[in-house]
Amino acid sequence: MSLLDQNWSAGGNADDEAQDDNQQGRQITTSRDGTLMLIECAPHMFERLANQMKQDSSIDDDDEDAQLTTGFQLVMRACQRFYQSKIISNDKDLSGIILYGTENSLNAFDFKHIYILHELAQPSAERIIQLETLSDKDAYKTKYDELFGSTQATGYSLNEALWTCSNLFSNSPQRLTVKRIFIFTCNDQPHASNLTLERQAKQRAKDLNDVGIQLDVFPILTETIIKFDFKKFFQDVLMLSDEDLDIRNNQEPTGRLNELLKLVYSKEHKKRAYCTVPFSLGKAADGTPLGFSVSVYNMVRPCPKPTKIKLDMKTNLETKIVTKHYLPETAEILMPSDIQYGLDVSNRRILFDSDEIKAIKKFGDPGFELLGFKSLSCLSPHHYVKPGHFIYPDEKYVEGSSCLFNALLKKCLEKKMFILCQFSARRNTPPRLVALIPQGEEMNKRVKNDRLASNGFHVHYLPYADDIRTLPKNDTTRAANDEVDLFKNVVRGLKFKYRADKFENPALQTLWRNIEATALNKGEPDEFIDLTIPSVENQNRKVAGYIDELKQMIFPPGYVMGATKKSAAKRKCETNGSPGSAKKSKDDENIDVEAAAKSHLLSKLTIPILKDYCRDKKLKASGTKKQDFIDDGRDLILCRSLSSAVNHRDIGGFIYSYKYLTMSNSSTKTAIESALIADQGPWASVGEHPNAITNRFYTYERVEEIVAFIQNIVPTKPEIAIICGSGLGGLAELVVNKIVIPYADIPHFPKSTVVGHRSNLVFGALNGVYVVCMQGRFHPYEGYTTATCAFPVRVMRMLGAHTLIVTCAAGGINKDYSVGDIMLIKDHLNFPSMAGNNPLIGHNDERFGPRFPPVGHAYDRQYSSQMKQVAKKHNLQLREGIYCALGGPCYETIAEINMLRLLGCDAVGMSVVHEVTLGAHCGFRMLGLALITNKCLSEYDSTVEALHEDVIRISELKANELQQLILDFVGLLKQNKK
């Protein structure tokens, strides 16, 4: 077990932590790398690049490489790009830049000709802008002379430069996992004339290697420096073997930015395994376990967008999320020690403690367990569960792992077999079935010593039987051979060479380019070429002829979508036959023209179908064009729907049919209105008030029907009805033994469409009293009449409730009010009612209530007094004021708020008053509470606007106080009843 114990504390890659929780083998550690760029500023670095002269003829003036004429510019631009990539990929990593060979000096030890341009820190916009200036073709020399001196020194010491780098690493306040020094130079023997300095530099490099600081060199060739020999000096500095020396000397130095960056990234790229596990091959004859150790690497990982950080609107400080658990019956906050975990199985709840939970999660020791070998042909490409890994032998824990691993790999490659294994990345990870697919080494034939693929196994996750989905087998018509040949030509024409590393994520790149442009004060972001967008012009050029042929073959002249294909003989027979003898197809006979009209699909039907319908209905068409048949048929169908809606008092059908018909010409509308009035009486005129239509629809008998439906589900009569406002639906969660009925399940019941309203009727006991809660109310701005918005009050009254509690979110008009205050509604100002939009307009059924109900004391004074006692008990400041209702959905203007303040209003909202009006009409005792979620604008200098998201947020934050008030108020009513 020593291997496992060491592994879990050692492995890790912080980059992989950002992946989803399903990714196996996550090691939760924090890593931060440090990279120092050590740049030589000798005179040769300011000469023209060696390969630049050869490429001038083939480079456009706009090409970035054309602007980088010297080695110093090239390195500065590479450092700039390195900084930019760090901000995107690993913003926690530290970077710095040190120049040696400068006239001026800036370092902690007063070393001559060594200048610390950037201390070891996270990249910033200021640093990137400075590097951009130092690489600019026109401005770099002036900036260089200003900072570092006009002449380049030659008497510098590389030993002192390396010492300065070591000191920066030592003084770093952050703990660094990896430390690197990248040396950019054009001099392969910097101390050729001074053996002492050369010996000191080599010893310093050895000391750095001993303490874990990695060194690497990037040679830059110029017009006079045309060859770089590592053997002269840097072989000892980098401690290269003879084999590595040959590779380095045969590697062509670069003068192009992209090639230099590729080299830098290849050295900087993290190659740490995120876990190291044992690979078990089974047991020998004597029972000895046989196996070796492997390191697991991620080949692909998602690159996500940066996580959004929630900030306080006033202070811009980062907010924290706090989760609390409470007991529904008492609203008592529970500590973690008070919580158990359970699982419902067969109507029985089984409880577990924390130790049992840990034991359930343990599946066994991590590692690979060999199951057997299978031919590679058995693998199905579509059995791809998630991105896999790559494994390589690890000699650190088990000696001889490489020998056994390579033997296994060699045989798998020869036999073309894969290894079937069980794999667990860690102890609490469920085991997965994986295929280890062998991969041999592959070299780039064009570039010497460039390895394209390494020896090892790819870990391919396989699905279990439970993961596989079977598709229905459809007997589709097989395409003809000529159609297949045409499609083959299309496929051949659109083939292209695909390389995954060439396709950047357009959403991610666009985001970062915009962020970068903002941070670096650019006029506009850098241009991004989205390779995921096909070149339509190029495609048309290659396959346009084949596409035209396919269109003519698959969609011949006279083709009708959905119609069955007819043979030429049959079409000829139908053409020669008489119109009367032609039989309609089954498809034509099954078409519902009226349903198509209501779904706005008449244009999809053919002219013969429309003609037949008009002939059957004895409708004379106004023309011969298809649109004439569509218009005439649609008007007739919707006119009949309108008349049917009136007969059956279907308000939804009436409004739909009439609204659609009002888009017709004026003569059609006049004829329809006249026919309806003659048939149904004056009330059918379109001039009738919408509330009157609603009240005719929601008759006493219809409300009884709704009540009967609910009572079949909930036999207990509620005593108190509660309407939950925006963001306050959590009050219903305190109800115990609850029964939830969605509005969508209740006949003739509307549905709330506003965020923060859940559209449920919740029945149950609240503090010992049976209640009904509306989780979501209706508003006129949703398109409902005020009568529709308020009609649930009648339903709850007929269910048996005698008390109505209305809650809402409101804006504070009173300047003494603060966000989060709770206001007890003393009275209200009903602007919609004053504008002639009272929910009681229309026919009055005395069984609901009187024709002219009083609402002067709609809010019960005794209830208000009792609520004040409850608030005093909890030391809560309870405001009392006038609530004003407006139509919405717009929040109020400054002029409107100032007017309402003059009228004596303390809070403003878009609900409550319609429900209270109907509540007074049917005899409810009522209590109203408003949560102040925003302060209304009353000054023109203010720039803060009210947002519905803020209303919901404040409601959820302060909901506990309001819920506690209502909870205790209900308990007080229960006590008074006794």
CATH number at 804 reads 3.40.50.1580
From CA 106, how far away is CA 117, in angstroms rounded? 8
Inter-residue contact 462 to 434 (CB < 8 Å): yes
3-state secondary structure of 237: helix
Q: Where are the beta strands (DSSP E) in 376-484?
A: 389-393, 417-424, 432-439, 442-443, 451-453, 456-461
Same domain assignment for residues 778 and 790: yes
User: 329-348: string of b/e by CB count within 10 Å (b at 16+)?
Assistant: eeeeeeeeeeeeeeeeeeee
Peptide bond into 889 cis (omega under 30): yes
Residue 630 domain-assigned (yes or no): no
- The helix/strand/coil state of 197 is helix
pLDDT at position 646 is 44
Task: Please give the structure tokens belonging to residue 841.
Answer: 């307009």
What residue type is 764 in one-letter code?
Answer: G
- pLDDT value of position 640: 55
Model pLDDT, residue 143: 86
Q: Is residue 917 part of a domain?
A: yes
The per-residue pLDDT for 676 is: 43
Amino acid identity of residue 711, one-letter, is Q
206 membership: H or E segment, kind and range: helix 195-210
Helices (H), 583-715: 586-589, 593-598, 607-616, 626-648, 651-661, 666-680, 690-697, 700-713
Residue 612 lies inside a defined structural domain of this protein: no
344 and 215 in a single domain? The answer is no
CA distances from 459 to 294, 320, 372, 415, 911 (A): 12, 39, 15, 18, 60
**What pLDDT was estimated at residue 98?**
94
State the Cα–Cα distance between residues 849 and 941, nearest whole angstrom.
49
Q: Name the token pair of 823.
A: 């206001």
Q: Are residues 504 and 577 part of one domain?
A: no
d(CA 293, CA 276): 7
Report yes or no on 623 lying in a domain.
Answer: no
Amino acid at the residue 294: V
Residues 300 and 334 in one domain: yes
pLDDT tens digits, one per residue of 114-169: 999 999 999 888 898 889 888 888 888 888 888 888 766 677 889 999 999 999 99
Asked if 40 and 184 touch (Cβ cutoff 8 Å), the reply is yes
- Active-site residues, by number, are 726, 757, 779, 781-782, 809, 910-911, 934, 948
Residue 714, number of CB atoms within 10 A of its CB: 17
- If one counts the domains in the chain, the total is 5
586 and 458 belong to one structural domain: no
Q: Is the pTM of this model over 0.85?
A: no
- Quick one: 290 and 410 in the same domain? yes
Do 196 and 280 lie in one domain? The reply is no
Residues 511 and 535 in one domain: yes
Q: How far is CA 587 from CA 605, 633, 834, in A?
A: 11, 20, 56
Residue holding tokens 């070429």? 529
The residue behind tokens 């229905």 is 472
Are 133 and 139 within 8 A, CB to CB? yes
**φ, ψ (nearest 5 deg) of residue 409:** -65, -45
In-domain check, residue 891: no
- Among 247, 268, 289, the domain-final residue is 268
Token look-up 């209502």 returns 966
Q: What is the pLDDT of residue 838?
A: 93
Q: Are 741 and 713 in contact (CB under 8 A)?
A: yes
For residue 774, tell me if it sits in a domain: yes
Decide which of 222, 237, 268 is a domain's last residue.
Answer: 268
In a domain, 461, yes or no: yes
Give me 686's structure tokens: 């379109």
Residues whose CB is less than 8 angstroms from the CB of residue 128 and which lie 6 or more positions away in sequence, other chains included:
80, 83, 84, 519, 520
Task: With H, G, I as helix, E, B as strand and everything else as coil, classify residue 899.
Answer: helix
- As a whole number of angstroms, the distance between CA 118 and CA 37 comes to 9
**236 shares a domain with 126:** yes
Same domain, 276 and 264: no
Q: Which residue has tokens 């040959």?
A: 246
Domain boundary among 211, 241, 268: 268
Separation CA 848–CA 437 (nearest Å): 77
Q: Is residue 224 part of a domain?
A: yes
> Do 362 and 388 belong together in one domain?
yes
Q: Within the chain, which residues score under 70 in pLDDT?
A: 1-30, 51-66, 151-153, 252-272, 446-450, 474-477, 557-605, 607, 610-611, 613-615, 617-687, 727-728, 755-757, 943-944, 946, 978
Q: Please count the helices (runs of H) and the strands (runs of E) in the chain.
A: 32, 27
Q: Which of 585, 543, 592 is nearest to 566 (CA)?
A: 585
For residue 460, give its domain range: 272-466
Main-chain dihedrals φ then ψ at residue 195, nearest 5 degrees: -65, -30
Distance between start and end Cα atoms, the chain: 69
Same domain, 172 and 192: yes
Find residue 825's DSSP bridge partners.
Answer: 881
Tokens describing residue 555? 């969609």
CATH number at residue 528: 1.10.1600.10
Among 186, 195, 184, 120, residue whose Cα is nearest residue 157: 195
Rg (CA), the chain: 40
